[in-house]
Structure 1
C-alpha cells in the first residue's frame, strides 16, 4: 500500500485529505502515514483527526518513509522550499494551491522535476467539482468566449500571500475557461471588496469580483458569441475527493492531466495582480 506524507497542518486541507483516505476509505490502496506540522499542536491535531500514525520533526524525515508527498501551507512561499529535498529524492509530489509564490521559482522547479523524471501536479479543487465540469461542458456551445465574470471570497491583504491566498480559486477556474489566455491584469481596489480585470490576446475582457465581506460562494458567468451561461460553483459531497483521486492516480502511474501551463499560468496571473495592487496600474502577465 503506497504511503503518503503531508507537509503542513495549519489549515483544513490536511485533515480533509487524511479523512478521505484513512477514515472514509474512498481511495483504494493508499494511506496517509506521516505528517509534519508548523507547530506541535498543529501536527497533533491533524494526526488525531486524520488518523495519521506518525508525526515527523522535519519534512526531510519523510524521505525513506513514504512513497509520495503532499505539501499544504497557507502561504505559497513555503511550498517549493519544503519539498525540494523530496524532489531530489525522487518522491512524487502534489503541491496544494497555489503551486508557488513566484513564477521563476515554479519554472525552475518543474524543469528540475523533468530532469529527475519526478511527477508533480498542483491545482485548486474548485475546477475539480462536478458543477465546474458541467460549466465547461456548457461553455463548449458558446463559441468564441467574449468575457468571463467570476465572484468569490478573497482578502487581498491576507497575511497568507494577499490575493494569492483565496484568489487562486477564481484564477484557476478563469484561466481554464480562457484556455490560459491572459496577457494583462489590473486590480481595482475598493474598501473591502475589489475587482480584477483580465485581458486576453483573443480580445476577451474578463472580471473577477474579489469579495472581502459577507458570506459569498463562488459563481461564474461566461459570455460567448452564441450566448451565455451562468452557474453557482457548488461543492461535491466530498469537496476533496476528485482532487485526491487525481493526485493519487499520478502517484500510481506517474501521469497527470496538469501541465506546466495549467500550474504556472495561475501563478503568473496572481503575481501580476499583486504588482497591480501595489502600483495601481495595468500589469503584464
Structure 2
C-alpha cells in the first residue's frame, strides 16, 4: 500500500482524491486500490484561502493525519500529491520533495511560467525521481474508448475539443479551466504542435494549433451557454462527435496516480506536459496580441532572454 501525502487543501481535489483512495464518502465503484492518503498539510493559498477551512474537515474525516508544514510529511509518506489551485505555487512546493527523492504528482496547471516548469522537470530528471501532471479529463472513459477505436477508425487527421474556459485571476487565460479542454486535445493528437493562434472574446476562446505533420487541433473554451465537455474527431473513416462525461474522471486519474507511483513511469511523459504548457502560454500570448500566430518555441526562447 502506497502511503500518500497531500499538500495544500485549497482545491476540491483534496477531498475528491482522498475519498477515492481512502474509500470514504463515495460509491464503491469509485474506490481506488493500491494507495491511501495517510497525512496532509492544509497549507496556504494564493487564490482561494477561504476554501482551506472548508475542505480540511472533509479530508480529516477520511482518516488523514494533519501536519503543519509540508516537510512534516517527509518521513510519513512514500509519494506526495501537490494540489495547490494556483500553478505559481507549485515550484516551491515540489522541489523540497524531489530533493528528498519523494515521487510527486502535481495537479493542473503544472506551472504558470516556462521557467518554473523547466526547473521542476530538470530537477526530477537529475534526481531520477518521478514527477508528473495531468488533468482528469485526459482519462475519461469516452476518450479511452476513442483511443481504443483508433485501429478501426484509421489515421487521426484532426480534432476539435470543447468545454468550459472561465478565466480566473491567478491562473491566466487557459491555465485554469481551459487546460482541461487542451488536455482532451492532447490525449488524442499527442505532442507535436508547432504554432497556435487564438481568437478571444468575453465569452469564448478559440485556439487553432498546427501540428508538425499538418494536422490541425482546435480548442473551443466556452464562458457562456452550455459548457459541457466534448470532442469532434476527424479520422480517415469517420467524423465522430463525442461528449466526454466527467463521471469516472477522478477515479481514472487516481488509478493512473497509483500506476505511476507503482511503476516509476510517468503516465504522461514530462515532454508532453511541457508542451501542453507551451501550447497554453503561446495561446494566451496570441490572444493578448489580437490573434497573431505564435510559435510554441517562442515561449521557451522568450523565457531564456
State the TM-score, normalized to the length of structure 2: 0.85
Q: Report the Cα offset of residue 28 of structure 1.
A: 3.2
Find 2:214's aligned residue among 198, 203, 210: 203
Call closer, same or farther: CA 1:41–1:107 in 2, change over 3 Å.
closer
Q: Matched residues in 1 for 2:110 and 2:38: separation?
A: 23
Call closer, same or farther: CA 1:185–1:52 in 2, change over 3 Å.
farther
Find 1:48's aligned residue among 48, 57, 71: 57
After the TM superposition, which residues 40-119 of structure 1 pair with which residues of structure 2 at under 5 Å, given as runs? 42-50=51-59, 51-119=62-130
Q: Matched residues in 2 for 1:56 and 1:215: separation?
A: 41
Call closer, same or farther: CA 1:32–1:204 in 2, change over 3 Å.
same
Q: Matched residues in 2 for 1:2 and 1:145: separation?
A: 37
Q: How many aligned residue pairs are there?
A: 284
Structure 1 unaligned residues grouped into runs of 5+: none
Q: Matched residues in 2 for 1:33 and 1:47: separation?
A: 14
| Matched-pair contact (CA < 8 Å) for 1:139–1:222 | no
Call closer, same or farther: CA 1:178–1:121 in 2, change over 3 Å.
same
| Matched-pair contact (CA < 8 Å) for 2:168–2:176 | no
Aligned twin of 1:16: 16
Aligned twin of 1:230: 241
Q: Report the Cα offset of residue 233 of structure 1.
A: 0.6
Find 1:262's aligned residue among 266, 272, 285: 272
Aligned twin of 1:3: 3
Further displaced range: 6-15 or 19-28: 19-28
Q: Does 1:145 align with 2:150?
A: no
Q: Matched residues in 1 for 2:3 and 2:81: separation?
A: 11
Residue aligned with 2:40, SS: strand
Q: Report the Cα offset of residue 78 of structure 1.
A: 1.2
Further displaced range: 39-48 or 178-187: 39-48
Question: Runs (4+) of structure 1 moved beyond 4 Å?
Answer: 39-44
Further displaced range: 76-85 or 103-112: 103-112
Residue aligned with 1:240, SS: helix
Q: Report the Cα offset of residue 129 of structure 1.
A: 1.2
| Matched-pair contact (CA < 8 Å) for 1:175–1:181 | no
Aligned twin of 1:253: 263
Q: Matched residues in 2 for 1:82 and 1:22: separation?
A: 23
Find 2:35's aligned residue among 30, 33, 37: 30
Q: Does 1:169 align with 2:174?
A: no
Q: Report the Cα offset of residue 234 of structure 1.
A: 1.0
Structure 2 unaligned residues grouped into runs of 5+: 297-305
